[in-house]
Amino acid sequence: MRAGELITTDQQGRSGGEADIQQAYKVLEEVMDPEVPVVSVMDLGIVRDVSWVDGHLKVVVTPTYSGCPATEYIETSIRDALQEAGFAHPKVSQRLDPAWTTDWINEQGRNRLKAYGIAPPVGSSNKRSLLSGITQVECPHCGSKDTEQISEFGSTACKALYRCKSCLEPFDYFKCI
Amino acid sequence: MTQYDELTEFLLRLGDSALIQAQRLCEWTGRAPAIEEEMGMMNVGLDLVGQARNWYEYAAERINDGTDADVLAFRRDERAFRNLLLVEQPNGDFAVTMTKQFFYDAWQFHLLTILKDAKDERISAIATKSLKEVIYHLRRSSQWVERLGDGTDESHQRMEKAIDAVWRFTVELVEKNAAEMALAESGDIPSLAELPEQWLATVNKVFAKATLTVPDAPSTFYLSARTGMHTEYLGILLAEMQFLQRAYPDASW
C-alpha cells in the first residue's frame, strides 16, 4: 500500500470514491429538519457540497436564516448520522455565499411541507415580488386560494401566519426568500 | 496582526446596531399587543442576532487578538459600542417601537443593498444573506407605520409623538462620514454617498401613505455612536444584556 492511500483512507477503509459520496447523500436524505421533521436537509437544499478531504467526509451547509437556531442542531445531526453510517470524523462547515433561497427546496420537500400542513413557498424569490408582498397562498388543508395573511411572521423566522377564509383554519406559510 | 482599523469599526457599527435593536425587540416578550406581533418581533430579533453574529465573527477575525463574537457582544463597555443611537432608545409604546424599527429597517435595506456589491467577499456574502431577511422586516414595519399613521385619531397622534421622540437620532442615518468615505475610496466598501437620499426617499414614500409629516432634516449634536458617546439608555441595556457573562464569565449551556 502506498503512503498516499493511507492518508486518504479512513478506519472503515473508505477512500472517498463515488460510492462513498453517494452513500453519504443517502444518509443526508434521512437527516430531518428539527422544526419541520418531515423534510430532510436535502429537501431543503441546505447541503451545498459533499466531498472527501484529507481522509474525511466533508459536508458544507448553508443556513436558511442568519439567526436560525436550528442551524447548529442540524450540523450536529448531520455529523451524528454520518458517524452512525460508518463515516469516521465527518466534518461539517458553513458557507454563506451564495445565500440560501427557497428556490432550492425540491419538489419532494414542497409536497412534504404541504402534507404536513405548511404551505410551500409560492413563486421565485426575486426582490421585486418580495417587496410588494402580494402572494396568493393556497390553503394546505382544503386547497382554497381564498386566504389572508395574519402576520408577516409565524412560529419560526422562515414562516408567515395565514388563515384560510374557506375552511377557517389558520396555517403556516413557508416564506419565499 | 491586530487590525482594529476603520473597516473593523464599520463592521462593529453594523453588528452592534443589529444586536442592540434585537435586544430592544426582546423586551417585548410577553408584553406585545397581540401574540402574532410578539412572534413577529421575536423573529425579527432572531434574524438580527444572527446578522450581528456574522458581522462580529468577521470583526473578531480582523481584530485577531483571541476575541470572538461572544466577547464582542458581552464583554465590551458602553463606550466601545458603535451602534446607532436610534436603536438604543427605549421602546416606548408600540408606535415608538415601530417608528424606530421602520427607520432602522429602511437604513439596513439601502445600506445592505449597497454592500451586497462590496468587493470584500465576506461583506458581500453577509449583506446578501441579511438583505433577504431585511426585505421582510421593512415590509412589516412599513405596513405598521401606514396602518398606525392612517388609522384612528389616537394612533395617528401616537405616531406623531413617536416621530418627535426619535427623529433627531436619525441624523446618524443620513450624515456623511469621513471614515466611510475613505473606506469607499480605498475600495474596502462601495460608496455610501447615495444612502442618505435613498433612506429619505423611503421615509417620504411611506409617510405619505401614512398621512404623516416628515420633519425637517435633523442636525448633528454632541452625542455620536462613532465616538462611543451614547445616550444614557445604552448602559442600562448593556447591564441587563451582559449580566450573565459578566457575573459568570464563559458560562455556557
List the Cα angle B25/B28/B32 in 5-degree steps. 125
Indicate whether A111 and A82 sit together in one domain.
Answer: no
Please indicate, yes or no, if residue A99 is contained in any of the structural domains: no
**CATH label of the domain that carries residue A42:** 3.30.300.130
Indicate whether A65 and A129 sit together in one domain.
Answer: no
Indicate whether A48 and A81 sit together in one domain.
Answer: yes
Residues 6+ apart with CB under 8 A from A134: none
Per-residue pLDDT, B54: 97
Per-residue pLDDT, A127: 57
- Is residue A8 pLDDT above 60, yes or no? no
Average pLDDT over residues B207-233: 93
A66 vs B: CB within 8 A: yes
Fold topology of B6-247: Ferritin (1.20.1260)
Please indicate, yes or no, if residue A20 is contained in any of the structural domains: yes
For a pLDDT cut of 90, what percent of chain A falls above it?
63
Indicate whether A46 and A67 sit together in one domain.
Answer: yes
What type of residue is A40?
S
Q: Which residue of A has its CA nearest to B141?
A: A152
SS (H, E, C) A80-91: HHHHHCCCCCCE
Find cell 470572538 and name the residue: B68
Mean pLDDT value across chain A: 87
Please indicate, yes or no, if residue A52 is contained in any of the structural domains: yes
Average pLDDT over residues A28-43: 94
Indicate whether A84 and A115 sit together in one domain.
Answer: no
Q: What's the pLDDT tens digit per position in B103-159? A: 999 999 999 999 999 999 999 999 999 999 999 999 999 999 999 999 999 999 999
Alpha helices in B27-120 (DSSP H): 35-63, 69-74, 85-88, 94-115
Q: What's the pLDDT tens digit per position in A89-128? A: 999 999 999 999 999 999 999 999 999 999 999 877 665 5
For a pLDDT cut of 70, what percent of chain B falls above it?
99
Per-residue pLDDT, B70: 94
Please indicate, yes or no, if residue A28 is contained in any of the structural domains: yes
3-state secondary structure of B229: strand
A9 pLDDT band, cuts 50/70/90, is low
Per-residue pLDDT, A3: 44
3-state secondary structure of A78: helix
A4 pLDDT band, cuts 50/70/90, is very low
A133 or B89: which leads in pLDDT: B89
Indicate whether A10 and A61 sit together in one domain.
Answer: yes
What is the secondary structure of A38-77 as a DSSP string?
TSBHHHHT-EEEEEEETTEEEEEE--SSTT-THHHHHHHH
Indicate whether A86 and A168 sit together in one domain.
Answer: no
Of the residues B23, B53, B136, B137, the best mutation for testing chain A's interface (the one with the most A CB atoms within 10 Å of its CB) is B136
Indicate whether A45 and A16 sit together in one domain.
Answer: yes
Please indicate, yes or no, if residue A127 is contained in any of the structural domains: yes
CA distance A177 to chain B (A): 6
Q: Which three cell numbers stand for residue A42?
A: 436535502
A18 or A49: which leads in pLDDT: A49
Contacts of range A77-86, beta carbons closer than 8 Å, 24 or more positions apart: A77/A31, A77/A32, A77/A34, A77/A41, A78/A28, A78/A31, A78/A41, A81/A27, A81/A28, A81/A30, A81/A31, A82/A24, A82/A27, A82/A57, A85/A23, A85/A24, A85/A27, A86/A12, A86/A14
Q: How many CB pairs under 8 A join A and B?
A: 85
Domain with A131 in it: 107-174
Residues 6+ apart with CB under 8 A from B157: none
Does the distance separating the beta carbons of B50 and A63 come in below 8 Å?
Answer: yes
Indicate whether A90 and A170 sit together in one domain.
Answer: no
The number of distinct structural domains making up chain A is: 2
Indicate whether A29 and A74 sit together in one domain.
Answer: yes
* Last residue of one domain, picked from the residues A60, A94, A128: A94
Average pLDDT over residues B180-201: 96
What type of residue is B201?
A
CA distance B136 to chain A (A): 7
Indicate whether A80 and A146 sit together in one domain.
Answer: no
Q: Which three cell numbers stand for residue B184?
A: 469607499
CA separation, residue B155 to residues A94, A114, B21, B52, B215 (Å):
45, 38, 23, 32, 18
Range 42-101 of B in CB contact (< 8 A) with A: 42-51, 53-54
C-alpha to C-alpha distance for A83 and A55, rounded to whole angstroms: 14
C-beta of residue B57 within 8 angstroms of C-beta of residue B69: yes
A5 or B65: which leads in pLDDT: B65
Per-residue pLDDT, B137: 96
Please indicate, yes or no, if residue A73 is contained in any of the structural domains: yes
